[in-house]
């Protein structure tokens, strides 16, 4: 399998009155084409900021300050090679090194995003069918334009993406019969019963689970290569949650799209993902296949998370098993040490000297950002209680 996305040394900071918050700190991530990759962590660990950084949805006072986000797309690479040679490496294009208008034109067709809260993706005063048809139309117009042209054209003429689409477009009926039919097909695809009738209903007439399905339909309108799902089932009750996960699973299998799934729920990871990255304090602290991370974990944070989950088959609640809080991520307070050191039951003198990079832990794909990947825990080197 080949990589579809490579994120290297990504840092996203928020410049607040209290100081600089390192929400994503020097993060590396590699996602294979056609896989479901999970990012799991407590709230405040930087999962959503990571996802939003990838699709360029960071707003002031936030800013991506460093790193590359390389997307594997031969057509795109060919289109930008001439004007932005520095952005292209083989078939990979560094999305941070191309103009914003080009990045934005990839929304919906290359990347789509779904969120926890489907209401935010729909305009309450238009029917669901109209909004899906609009998404279809916009993506169709974007796809009809060669990327080489898109690279040189003002973004306002093309896709705004599914993110803000329906909220920003003026009220209108169906653009064309074709797009109406496609909207109904999309509703059917995501398992909405009586799609012809439901297309004419407004968002408030949908249940939470149905609206979640409709949001997925909207995200699929442009047949994206990568679907980023940020806590897509967190707001739903357990039965509906299971149905939505089944739907995503089926859609992934049918379309072969890549899914980046952001969740705090290890049950969801166990059920859905091929590989997983455990995120803590702006970093991915351990990553690998499900078996690597669940059965052969190295990092004490992963250990703490999993220690609280007796039954991996069940869909369990929130993660907060480890004493202490996720650190504030303020630059001044973090320093160079391991970010987990003040909560880590195995913290040693070694953990203060070098910020651990990613040494291999077992296999090429299994990596942990922890000194224990390379040395045994030595109680003689333990930091005294109350050190921090």
Where do contacts with ligand SF4 occur on this chain (CB under 6 A)?
Answer: 299-300, 338, 340-341, 344, 346-348, 351, 356, 370-372
Bridging pattern class, strands 19-32 and 3-16: antiparallel
Question: Mapping DSSP to helix (H, G, I), strand (E, B) and coil, where does residue 177 land?
Answer: helix
Binds 356, which of Mg ion, ligand SF4, none (CB < 5 to 8 A, cut-off by type)?
ligand SF4
Burial 334-363, CB ≥16 within 10 A → b, else e: beebbbbbebbebbbebbeeebbebeebee
Q: Nearest distance from residue 315's CB to Mg ion, in Å?
A: 18
Residues in a beta bridge with 146: none
The first and second tokens of residue 268, run together, are 């969801």
Asked whether the bond before 61 is cis by omega within 30 degrees of 0, the reply is: yes
In this complex, which beta carbon is closest to ligand SF4, that of residue 5 or of residue 351? 351
Q: Nearest distance from residue 335's CB to ligand SF4, in Å?
A: 13
Binds 135, which of ligand SF4, Mg ion, none (CB < 5 to 8 A, cut-off by type)?
none
Q: Which of 12, 45, 48, 139 binds Mg ion (CB under 5 A)?
A: 48
Rg for the chain, CA atoms, rounded = 22
- Contact at 8 Å (CB) between 351 and 42? no
In this complex, which beta carbon is closest to ligand SF4, that of residue 51 or of residue 344? 344
The first and second tokens of residue 229, run together, are 């799902």
In this complex, which beta carbon is closest to Mg ion, that of residue 50 or of residue 110? 50
- Contact at 8 Å (CB) between 33 and 258? yes
50 binds Mg ion (CB under 5 A): no
In this complex, which beta carbon is closest to ligand SF4, that of residue 168 or of residue 380? 380
- Contact at 8 Å (CB) between 183 and 136? yes
Q: Which residues, 6+ apart, have CB-to-CB distance to 207 below 8 Å?
A: none
Q: Nearest distance from residue 347's CB to ligand SF4, in Å?
A: 4
241 binds Mg ion (CB under 5 A): no
Q: Nearest distance from residue 361's CB to Mg ion, in Å?
A: 27
Binds 51, which of Mg ion, ligand SF4, none (CB < 5 to 8 A, cut-off by type)?
none
The first and second tokens of residue 194, run together, are 């009586």
Binds 232, which of ligand SF4, Mg ion, none (CB < 5 to 8 A, cut-off by type)?
none
Alpha carbons within 13 angstroms on the beta-carbon side of residue 309 total 24
Binds 347, which of ligand SF4, Mg ion, none (CB < 5 to 8 A, cut-off by type)?
ligand SF4
302 binds Mg ion (CB under 5 A): no
In this complex, which beta carbon is closest to ligand SF4, that of residue 63 or of residue 320? 320
In this complex, which beta carbon is closest to ligand SF4, that of residue 62 or of residue 356? 356
Q: Nearest distance from residue 4's CB to Mg ion, in Å?
A: 23
Question: Mapping DSSP to helix (H, G, I), strand (E, B) and coil, where does residue 357 land?
Answer: coil
Options 25-33, 40-48, 70-78, 87-95: segment touching Mg ion (CB under 5 A): 40-48
Q: Which H/E stretch holds residue 25?
A: strand 19-32
How many angstroms separate the CA atoms of 260 and 31, rounded?
A: 8
In this complex, which beta carbon is closest to ligand SF4, that of residue 35 or of residue 342? 342
Residues lying near Mg ion in the complex (CB under 5 A) are found at 48
């Amino acid at each position: 399998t080949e990589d579809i996305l490579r994120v290297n040394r990504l840092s996203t900071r928020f410049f607040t009155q209290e100081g600089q918050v390192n929400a994503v700190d020097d993060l590396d991530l590699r996602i294979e084409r056609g896989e479901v990759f999970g990012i799991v962590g407590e709230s405040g660990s930087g999962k959503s900021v990571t996802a939003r950084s990838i699709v360029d949805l960071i707003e002031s006072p936030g800013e991506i300050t460093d790193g590359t986000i390389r997307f594997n797309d031969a057509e795109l690479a060919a289109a930008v090679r001439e004007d932005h040679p520095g952005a292209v490496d083989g078939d990979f294009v560094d999305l941070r090194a191309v103009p914003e208008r080009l990045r934005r034109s990839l929304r919906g067709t290359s990347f789509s995003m779904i969120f926890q809260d489907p209401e935010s993706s729909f305009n309450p005063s238009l029917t669901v069918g109209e909004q899906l048809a609009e998404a279809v139309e916009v993506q169709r117009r974007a796809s009809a334009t060669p990327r080489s042209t898109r690279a040189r054209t003002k973004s306002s003429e093309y896709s705004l993406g599914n993110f803000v689409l329906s909220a920003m477009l003026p009220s209108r009926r169906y653009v064309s019969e074709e797009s109406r039919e496609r909207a109904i097909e999309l509703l059917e695809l995501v398992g909405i019963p009586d799609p012809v009738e439901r297309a004419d209903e407004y968002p408030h007439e949908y249940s939470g689970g149905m609206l979640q399905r409709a949001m997925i339909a909207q995200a699929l309108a442009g047949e994206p290569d990568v679907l980023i799902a940020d806590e897509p089932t967190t707001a739903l009750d357990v039965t509906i949650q299971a149905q939505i996960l089944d739907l995503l699973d089926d859609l992934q299998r049918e379309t072969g799209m890549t899914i980046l799934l952001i969740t705090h729920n290890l049950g969801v990871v166990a059920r859905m993902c091929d590989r997983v990255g455990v995120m803590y304090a702006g970093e991915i602290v351990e990553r690998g296949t499900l078996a690597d991370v669940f059965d052969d974990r190295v990092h004490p944070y992963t250990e703490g998370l999993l220690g609280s989950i007796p039954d991996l088959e069940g869909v369990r609640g929130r993660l907060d098993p480890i004493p202490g809080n996720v650190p504030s991520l303020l630059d001044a307070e973090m320093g160079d040490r391991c970010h987990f050191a003040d909560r880590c039951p195995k913290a040693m003198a070694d953990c203060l000297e070098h910020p651990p990079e990613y040494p291999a832990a077992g296999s090429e794909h299994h990596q942990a950002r922890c000194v224990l990947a390379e040395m045994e825990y030595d109680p003689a080197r333990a930091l005294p209680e109350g050190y921090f």
